[in-house]
Amino acid sequence: MNAFARLGLPRKAALSAEEIRSAFQQAGAALHPDAATDGADRLQRTAAFTALNDAHSILLSLPRRLRHLLELEYSDLAVQKTGAVLGDRMMALFSITGSAVQRATAVQTKKQSAGSALAKAMLASEEMQAQESLEAATQEIEAARSTLEAELASLDDARAAGIPTGQALQSCAARAGFLEKWHAQLRAAFAGFFSA
């Protein structure tokens, strides 16, 4: 499946979430199963809408979009299982994220094992610092993602000019995957402060 074609979008690395959602809504309105005229039409529309939803999901996730683009344009690179080489900035983000998550987990463990309300209250300052650490790490991840998205626009320009971009696309896909994973870890760690 070509998710870009399915949604009527250009085959680009740099697409905004709004562009993707808008294309999905337009295509979805025309294919929605509720507009079916009979049972056979409903089955066809349901299958088409499911494929449309899959395409939307692929393109909305930056790492999945980049891997999909890699599969479509550089299938030989897409199947290679090479380890990602992370530069200094990505290694620093890995360290920042890991440190913030470990700090949050340690505070949450202390808070869960605290036997009294007073013991829990005494952890308030430490909890605030851990939350601030998570927020700072999240801002770093979001800044790195913004930088990556700016690179994608340049990558699209190079692709349009006929310059081979497979290696760069592969690198961007790997970085996007790490950034998405680390962002999810930070969100989960932050949510841990508000769970039972």
State the CATH class of domain 3-60: mainly alpha
Chain length of the chain: 196
Which segments of the chain have a pLDDT < 70? 81-85, 196
* Residue 149, pLDDT score: 93
Helix (H) or strand (E) holding 29: helix 17-31
- pTM of the full structure: 0.85
Residue 71 CB neighbour total at 10 angstroms: 14
Going by C-beta distance under 8 Å and a sequence separation of 6 or more, which residues neighbour residue 55?
Answer: 1, 3, 4, 6, 7, 24
pLDDT score recorded for residue 83? 60
The residue behind tokens 């299982």 is 81
Phi, psi dihedral angles at 60 (to 5 degrees): -70, -30
CB 32 within 8 A of CB 41: no
Report the pLDDT value the prediction gives residue 79, as an integer from 0 to 100.
Answer: 77
Parse the chain into domains and list their residue ranges: 3-60, 88-191
Measured in whole angstroms, the distance separating CA 129 from the mean position of its chain's CA atoms is 26
Give, as one character, the DSSP assignment of residue 35: G
What residue ranges in the chain does DSSP mark as E strands? none
Angle subtended at Cα 97 by Cα 171 and Cα 112, rounded to the nearest 5 degrees: 145
pLDDT at residue 57 in the model: 96
Are 33 and 98 spatial neighbours (Cβ–Cβ below 8 Å)? no
